[in-house]
Amino acid sequence: MTQGKEGKGFGFGLGKMKELADAIRKAQQVQDEAIRMQQELDAMEIEGQAGDGLVKIFLSGNQEPRRVEIDPAALEGKTAEELSALVYTALRGAYESSTATMKAKMDNLTSGLGLPLS
């Protein structure tokens, strides 16, 4: 075995092995938490609505479409453009709520890891 000048082998002493083991353990913990977070986000149902609740759009926390609910009253006296605007507004609200929820969960997951965030 090749040894360095101080007779410490490759310079990878017990202290470095402990650091490596701790880093591997931390990485596994983060991976487990990320999987759990994805499952939680997928199970969520986040609502966006417009027209005082006449149009509702539901997304998962992962922004997967779940369903659309349009109250029959939303059809009365509205043009296709007006109904489209309500659907868009509800979709935008659901998307923004879903994005904020996902970001908050990611921030919670990465806080304390000391990762450089751009």
69 beta partners: 56
| pLDDT at residue number 96 | 96
| pLDDT at residue number 108 | 83
Residue 116 lies in a domain: no
> d(Cα 111, Cα 55) in Å, to the nearest integer?
37
The domain of 102 spans: 14-110
| pLDDT at residue number 56 | 98
Residue 33 lies in a domain: yes
> d(Cα 60, Cα 47) in Å, to the nearest integer?
9
Residue 32 lies in a domain: yes
Residue 43 CA: distances (Å) to CA of 48, 65, 87, 97, 100: 16, 12, 23, 15, 16
In the numeric block, the tokens 């990320």 are attached to 34
Task: Say if CB 69 and CB 109 are below 8 A apart.
Answer: no
Number of domains in the chain: 1
| pLDDT at residue number 98 | 95
The pTM assigned to this predicted structure is: 0.70
In the numeric block, the tokens 């090749």 are attached to 2
10-residue stretch averages of pLDDT, the chain, 118 residues long:
50 74 84 89 95 96 94 94 97 96 86 59
Residue 68 lies in a domain: yes
| pLDDT at residue number 85 | 97
CATH of the domain at 43: 3.30.1310.10
Residue 106 lies in a domain: yes
E strands, 1-118, where? 46-50, 55-59, 65-70
| pLDDT at residue number 80 | 96
